[in-house]
Amino acid sequence: MTKMVEKVPVRVTISQAANLFGVNEKTIRRAISNGEVIYIVVRGVYKINFESLLKWSQSRPKLKNKLENEGIGQFVGNWKIKNKLYSPNPDTAIKKEKKPSKTLTAGDPREFNSGE
């Protein structure tokens, strides 16, 4: 039996979304009223699906620029890993040399002889 793990969606409030994306709350409310983002209402508070919010922001160049310059994107540069040992960037990572593997082909004289 395989267990299916259900993915729990991340939801943010209107003010959190506005702060994350560097836009006015009215912009987020407009997206909700136009049906451009997925949301639910919990005890009178709009909870917006973060994935739909990302897709919505990436579909509009002006919002994408605001995300990078005024929203959370302005801090991404500070998150870069300075220690090359732990850097996921292959250009800055220390490259380990790989030894070429010795692959034998059929009929190769180095092939193991089975007692002939």
User: Which of 10, 22, 11, 33 lies closest to 60, judged by CA?
Assistant: 22
Residue 7 DSSP class: P
- Tokens, residue 59: 């579909």
pLDDT surpassing 70 at residue 113: no
Q: Which residues, listed in sequence order, are joined to residue 41 by a DSSP beta bridge?
A: 46
pTM of the model: 0.57
- Where do runs of H (alpha helix) occur along the chain? 14-21, 25-33, 50-58, 61-69
Residue 5 DSSP class: P
Q: CB neighbours (10 Å) of residue 12?
A: 19
pLDDT surpassing 60 at residue 68: yes
Mean pLDDT of 14-41: 93
Q: How far apart are CA 106 and CA 91, in angstroms?
A: 38
Show the domains of the chain with their CATH numbers: 11-86 (1.10.10)
* More confident call, 93 vs 84: 84
